[in-house]
Amino acid sequence: MSDANAPFSRVDALNHEALAAIDARGMLQALDMARAAQAAGEVPVGAVVLDASGAVLGRGFNRCIADHDPTGHAEIVALREAARACGNYRLPGLALYVTLEPCAMCIGAMLHARLARVVYGATDPKTGACGSVLDVPAIGVLNHHTTVVGGVMADACAGVLQSFFRDRRRAARERRIMPNPVADG
Protein backbone atom coordinates (compact mmCIF):
# COMPACT_ATOMS: atom_id res chain seq x y z
CA MET A 1 0.00 0.00 0.00
CA SER A 2 1.18 3.52 -0.60
CA ASP A 3 1.55 5.66 2.49
CA ALA A 4 -0.66 8.45 1.15
CA ASN A 5 -3.58 6.08 0.70
CA ALA A 6 -3.28 4.19 3.94
CA PRO A 7 -6.42 4.61 6.05
CA PHE A 8 -5.65 6.28 9.37
CA SER A 9 -6.86 3.14 11.08
CA ARG A 10 -3.70 1.50 9.72
CA VAL A 11 -1.49 4.54 10.04
CA ASP A 12 0.31 3.14 13.07
CA ALA A 13 1.90 0.62 10.71
CA LEU A 14 3.58 3.38 8.69
CA ASN A 15 7.24 4.12 9.19
CA HIS A 16 8.21 6.94 11.47
CA GLU A 17 9.11 9.38 8.69
CA ALA A 18 5.84 8.88 6.81
CA LEU A 19 3.85 9.34 10.00
CA ALA A 20 5.81 12.47 10.97
CA ALA A 21 5.15 13.97 7.53
CA ILE A 22 1.41 13.27 7.77
CA ASP A 23 1.27 14.73 11.27
CA ALA A 24 3.23 17.85 10.33
CA ARG A 25 0.90 18.49 7.38
CA GLY A 26 -2.18 18.14 9.55
CA MET A 27 -0.81 20.29 12.35
CA LEU A 28 0.17 23.12 9.99
CA GLN A 29 -3.45 23.27 8.87
CA ALA A 30 -4.65 23.27 12.48
CA LEU A 31 -2.23 26.14 13.18
CA ASP A 32 -3.78 28.10 10.30
CA MET A 33 -7.14 27.69 12.03
CA ALA A 34 -5.66 28.82 15.36
CA ARG A 35 -4.47 32.00 13.67
CA ALA A 36 -7.97 32.49 12.26
CA ALA A 37 -9.29 32.27 15.83
CA GLN A 38 -6.79 34.87 16.93
CA ALA A 39 -7.85 37.21 14.12
CA ALA A 40 -11.45 36.80 15.32
CA GLY A 41 -10.50 37.66 18.90
CA GLU A 42 -11.00 34.13 20.18
CA VAL A 43 -8.52 32.06 22.16
CA PRO A 44 -6.32 30.73 19.33
CA VAL A 45 -6.96 27.01 19.16
CA GLY A 46 -7.52 25.39 15.76
CA ALA A 47 -8.50 21.94 14.55
CA VAL A 48 -8.91 20.06 11.27
CA VAL A 49 -10.29 16.63 10.41
CA LEU A 50 -8.43 14.88 7.60
CA ASP A 51 -8.79 11.62 5.77
CA ALA A 52 -5.73 9.53 5.07
CA SER A 53 -5.21 11.16 1.66
CA GLY A 54 -4.89 14.52 3.42
CA ALA A 55 -8.28 15.84 2.27
CA VAL A 56 -9.80 18.27 4.77
CA LEU A 57 -13.31 17.20 5.81
CA GLY A 58 -13.76 19.58 8.72
CA ARG A 59 -12.18 22.74 10.10
CA GLY A 60 -12.79 24.63 13.27
CA PHE A 61 -11.48 27.26 15.58
CA ASN A 62 -12.69 28.42 18.96
CA ARG A 63 -16.04 30.20 18.61
CA CYS A 64 -17.15 30.30 22.24
CA ILE A 65 -17.31 34.09 22.46
CA ALA A 66 -18.85 34.79 19.05
CA ASP A 67 -21.46 32.04 19.37
CA HIS A 68 -22.13 32.40 23.12
CA ASP A 69 -21.46 28.68 23.19
CA PRO A 70 -19.54 26.87 25.92
CA THR A 71 -19.22 23.88 23.57
CA GLY A 72 -17.77 25.99 20.75
CA HIS A 73 -14.27 24.55 21.00
CA ALA A 74 -12.23 24.09 17.83
CA GLU A 75 -12.49 20.30 17.91
CA ILE A 76 -16.30 20.29 18.26
CA VAL A 77 -16.68 22.75 15.37
CA ALA A 78 -14.39 20.63 13.16
CA LEU A 79 -16.08 17.35 14.17
CA ARG A 80 -19.54 18.73 13.34
CA GLU A 81 -18.37 19.89 9.92
CA ALA A 82 -16.70 16.55 9.17
CA ALA A 83 -19.71 14.53 10.32
CA ARG A 84 -22.00 16.60 8.09
CA ALA A 85 -19.59 16.14 5.17
CA CYS A 86 -19.56 12.37 5.74
CA GLY A 87 -23.28 12.06 6.47
CA ASN A 88 -22.34 10.00 9.50
CA TYR A 89 -21.99 10.67 13.22
CA ARG A 90 -19.13 8.18 13.32
CA LEU A 91 -15.84 9.04 11.64
CA PRO A 92 -13.79 5.85 11.58
CA GLY A 93 -10.62 6.08 9.54
CA LEU A 94 -10.30 9.86 9.99
CA ALA A 95 -7.82 11.88 12.01
CA LEU A 96 -8.28 15.11 13.97
CA TYR A 97 -5.41 17.53 14.48
CA VAL A 98 -5.71 20.19 17.17
CA THR A 99 -3.17 22.70 18.41
CA LEU A 100 -3.96 22.25 22.13
CA GLU A 101 -4.48 19.14 24.23
CA PRO A 102 -8.23 18.40 24.18
CA CYS A 103 -10.43 19.03 27.23
CA ALA A 104 -12.69 16.31 28.66
CA MET A 105 -15.67 17.45 26.56
CA CYS A 106 -13.73 17.36 23.31
CA ILE A 107 -11.88 14.08 23.80
CA GLY A 108 -15.22 12.58 24.85
CA ALA A 109 -16.80 13.73 21.59
CA MET A 110 -13.83 12.45 19.60
CA LEU A 111 -14.06 9.02 21.21
CA HIS A 112 -17.80 8.96 20.43
CA ALA A 113 -16.92 9.74 16.80
CA ARG A 114 -14.55 6.76 16.77
CA LEU A 115 -11.83 8.72 15.03
CA ALA A 116 -8.86 6.58 14.14
CA ARG A 117 -6.36 9.15 15.31
CA VAL A 118 -6.20 12.30 17.42
CA VAL A 119 -3.02 14.39 17.29
CA TYR A 120 -2.53 17.44 19.47
CA GLY A 121 0.23 20.02 19.81
CA ALA A 122 0.76 21.85 23.08
CA THR A 123 -0.18 20.32 26.42
CA ASP A 124 -2.78 22.11 28.56
CA PRO A 125 -1.93 21.95 32.25
CA LYS A 126 -5.26 23.64 33.15
CA THR A 127 -7.89 21.52 31.40
CA GLY A 128 -6.03 18.93 29.31
CA ALA A 129 -7.78 15.56 29.43
CA CYS A 130 -5.27 13.48 27.48
CA GLY A 131 -2.71 13.12 30.25
CA SER A 132 -2.27 16.55 31.87
CA VAL A 133 -5.20 16.89 34.29
CA LEU A 134 -7.17 13.80 33.32
CA ASP A 135 -6.26 10.97 30.98
CA VAL A 136 -9.56 10.03 29.37
CA PRO A 137 -8.07 8.02 26.45
CA ALA A 138 -6.27 5.83 28.97
CA ILE A 139 -9.61 4.64 30.36
CA GLY A 140 -9.56 1.42 28.39
CA VAL A 141 -13.26 0.72 28.73
CA LEU A 142 -14.04 3.93 26.78
CA ASN A 143 -11.48 3.74 24.02
CA HIS A 144 -11.20 0.88 21.59
CA HIS A 145 -10.84 2.91 18.41
CA THR A 146 -8.73 6.02 18.76
CA THR A 147 -4.97 6.47 18.90
CA VAL A 148 -4.03 9.70 20.72
CA VAL A 149 -0.65 11.36 20.15
CA GLY A 150 0.54 14.61 21.74
CA GLY A 151 3.41 17.04 21.43
CA VAL A 152 3.41 17.43 17.63
CA MET A 153 4.82 20.90 16.79
CA ALA A 154 4.15 21.74 20.42
CA ASP A 155 6.35 24.85 20.51
CA ALA A 156 4.62 26.46 17.53
CA CYS A 157 1.18 25.62 18.92
CA ALA A 158 2.03 26.98 22.38
CA GLY A 159 3.64 30.05 20.85
CA VAL A 160 0.39 31.17 19.21
CA LEU A 161 -1.40 30.94 22.56
CA GLN A 162 1.40 32.66 24.48
CA SER A 163 1.55 35.61 22.11
CA PHE A 164 -2.25 35.96 22.21
CA PHE A 165 -2.37 36.13 26.00
CA ARG A 166 0.71 38.37 26.15
CA ASP A 167 -0.93 40.83 23.75
CA ARG A 168 -4.17 40.70 25.67
CA ARG A 169 -2.47 41.37 29.00
CA ARG A 170 -0.64 44.31 27.47
CA ALA A 171 -3.86 45.72 26.01
CA ALA A 172 -5.60 45.30 29.36
CA ARG A 173 -2.78 47.13 31.13
CA GLU A 174 -2.96 49.94 28.62
CA ARG A 175 -6.70 50.28 29.12
CA ARG A 176 -6.16 50.01 32.89
CA ILE A 177 -8.94 47.49 33.17
CA MET A 178 -8.80 43.83 34.03
CA PRO A 179 -9.31 41.26 31.26
CA ASN A 180 -12.76 39.75 31.10
CA PRO A 181 -12.48 36.44 33.01
CA VAL A 182 -15.32 34.97 30.93
CA ALA A 183 -13.05 35.17 27.89
CA ASP A 184 -10.17 33.40 29.51
CA GLY A 185 -11.11 30.05 27.99
Which residues are part of the catalytic machinery? 75
The DSSP symbol for 102 reads -
Binding mask 59-98 for Zn ion (x = CB under 5 A): --------------x-------------------------
Which one, 108 or 179, has the nearer CB to Zn ion?
108
User: Which residues, listed in sequence order, are joined to residue 55 by a DSSP beta bridge?
Assistant: none
User: Could you tell me whether strands 117-122 and 46-50 are parallel, antiparallel, or unpaired per DSSP bridges?
Assistant: unpaired
Q: Name residues contacting Zn ion, limited to 102-131 (CB under 5 A).
A: 103, 106
Strand order in the sheet with 147-149: 56-61, 46-50, 95-100, 117-122, 147-149
CB of 132 to Zn ion, least distance (A): 13
Burial track 131-165 (b if 16+ CB lie within 10 A, e otherwise) = bebeebbeeeeebebbbbebebbbeebbbbbeebe
Which one, 91 or 106, has the nearer CB to Zn ion?
106
CB of 62 to Zn ion, least distance (A): 9
Size of the site for Zn ion (CB under 5 A): 3
CB of 74 to Zn ion, least distance (A): 8
Where along the sequence are the contacts to Zn ion (CB under 5 A)?
A: 73, 103, 106
